[in-house]
Amino acid sequence: MITRFSVPNLHETTIHLTNVVNGKIVPDKILTNAKILSTYTDTILENKEIWISKGRIACIRNNNDHKNFFNTKDISVFDVEKNILAPGLIDPHMHIESSMITGCAYAEAALLNGTTTIFCDSHEIGNVLDTDGIEWMLEDCRKAPLSIFLTLPSTIPATNDDLETAGGNLTAKKTANLYDKWPEILGLGEKMDFVSVCQGDERSHSIISETLKRNIPISGHVFGREFVAAYAASGVTDTHEAEEKLFTNDLLDAGLWIFLRGGNPQTPWNSIKEAIKVLTENNVSSKRICVCTDDRDADDLFNFGLDWVVRQANQLGIDKTTSWSMGSLHPATRYNIDRDYGALGHSRRADVIMLDENLNVHNTWLGGELVVQNSKITSILEKQLENNRYEYPKRAYNTVILPKEVKLIPDIPKKENLKINIIKTELPGIMTTRETISVKKTITNWENFIKENDLCHLCVIERHGRNGEFAHGFLKNFKLRAGAIASSVGHDAHNVIVAGMNEKDMKFALDIINETQGGIVIVNDGNLIAKVELPIAGLLSDKRANIVAKENKNLKEEWAKAGCTLPYMGFNLLPLSVIPNFRITNKGLVDVNAMKLIPLFE
């Protein structure tokens, strides 16, 4: 079985590797007739070969040098046919849970896309199952055919109990215990509560303090140039929320690493196009700039991997070698793992990608093992993915605990001169704003009101068995034509969010979520249109990545047919009370900038 641990530690292999270089020990394999993409010098080295032993690169030599040392009959030689060999990509910021699959399953798509190492912020499962969920995911990731490190969730809950109810509560003490128990936790995950951080909130800074005591880097999440100075002063040293060049330049000058986020251009996750102008127009150095994916659903994971983001960087004006370095050596340097990762250097892990001239991935070697060939997974990887994935404990399959009675739409206020605060989407982005509708006459029924004002009903229901609270709202510009949709993925507290044009369909959708113990569903007139079941923590499927990707693709197609203008991953962010400007949680409507609840009716 191939895992991160299949490659022995360097201190155990230095004599062996030296003997391989000197021709005293035959390499396990040689990749010959290659061009080498050097991320150290951002150049292409011609006519080279790589000697691999014990999952590591013993050396890089001139092509066919092995014939001067060894009997060629004794060696496994792979002819690269003058293609480019590059180091495996490293994703410095992503969330496995967004892909709706487990860590083991995630490896399939990652390796097909040339990604051999990821830094996962598991704050989704932590918000549902607290430290148990985080540790189960760590166990899952240890079994994966991929190098997976954790940036420890920093903000569970994302705000506080006054604004939302989460299933987890990660305190500074719990944070310290996890750091000391799990050596693969190499960073603190994105500090979502940037307003609280900038205002010197004691709880927020206690978690930062435990991280700094251990000399561990802190990842960020911040919006607004006015927050940069205080945020950087708090010890945060990277962010992926760089939306345009001026903000990005401010962050760089304040000492933060920048992770340029690329994604499906049809979603709000493709901010690289504007942010990269800090390089192409402001001409700053790329030495503290990486690329990342952040959030990917299962379908987009195959089609818009980190390799796609690297190619985007190249197409937007960055040369090939620097683009690849921003996806490999730069992240390795940021997290201080460049002794083993990020480059094809002597003694480094043999995580090697074979590329064509357009940076398309054809082959992947993980620790020297060929796991992708001709853009298809090999039999050794297929067998492991099918038979050796981690199994989550039973408790992880029982996390949707709904109140017995839920009223999904509000009673109509019996008054004139009514003001209704609604959530308005600001397409094509993920930000939302507050709009107030003034109603002079008494509303007779909701059906006519929502159609006349381009609205649909919203309801967020607490699902962790804590208090059974639920809150109502209205969403504008969503364009849902009929029926209802529901999701147990509702960032970051992951309460159930339901949107609909009538209460009957909203209840039907909620009942399906309850029955399957998690998922995303589309219903209409009492009929199930599409669903993806997510029984693990209400967030993850236990199926293979390719199967979930097909289910996910069908869901997105039906989502579009239903008229929904906000992508479902954007819909799942409606309860995220740290993204400007106006959100909804189980507690009610939230003014994010003021961090306070706003009444639905005034």
**Which pLDDT score is estimated for 429?**
76
Instruction: Give the bridge partners for 3, in sequence order.
Output: none
Mean pLDDT, residues 354-377 = 98
Banded model confidence at residue 415, pLDDT cuts 50, 70, 90: confident
The model's pLDDT over 459-509, given as tens digits with 9 standing for 90+, comes to 999 999 999 999 999 999 999 999 999 999 999 999 999 999 999 999 999
Q: With 80 as the cut, is the pLDDT of residue 412 above it?
A: yes
Query: What are the DSSP calls for 472-519, one per residue?
Result: EEEEES----SSEEEES--TTTT-EEEEESSHHHHHHHHHHHHHHTSE
φ/ψ of 11, rounded to 5, equals: -65, -15
**Which pLDDT score is estimated for 73?**
84
- Given a contact cutoff of 8 angstroms between Cβ atoms, the answer to whether 114 and 37 are in contact is no
- Given a contact cutoff of 8 angstroms between Cβ atoms, the answer to whether 189 and 123 are in contact is yes
Mean pLDDT, residues 540-556 = 98
**Which pLDDT score is estimated for 266?**
84
Cα distances (angstroms) measured from residue 543 to each of 50, 132, 529, 549, 555: 36, 21, 21, 10, 16
**Which pLDDT score is estimated for 427?**
80
Distance between start and end Cα atoms, the chain: 61
Domain ranges of the chain: 86-391, 397-598
**Reported pTM:** 0.96
Q: With 80 as the cut, is the pLDDT of residue 390 above it?
A: yes
Rg of the chain in Å (alpha carbons): 25
Task: Find out if CATH 3.40.190.10 is the number for domain 86-391.
Answer: no
**Which pLDDT score is estimated for 431?**
87
The model's pLDDT over 299-342, given as tens digits with 9 standing for 90+, comes to 999 999 999 999 999 999 999 999 999 999 999 999 999 999 99
Judging by beta carbons within 10 Å of its beta carbon (0-12, 13-18, 19+), is residue 127 exposed, middle or buried? buried
Q: What is the 3-state secondary structure (H, E, C) of 92-156?
A: EEECHHHHCCCHHHHHHHHHHCCEEEEEECCHHHHHHHHHHHHHHHHHHHHCCCCEEEEEECCCC
Mean pLDDT over the full length of the chain = 96
**Which pLDDT score is estimated for 210?**
98
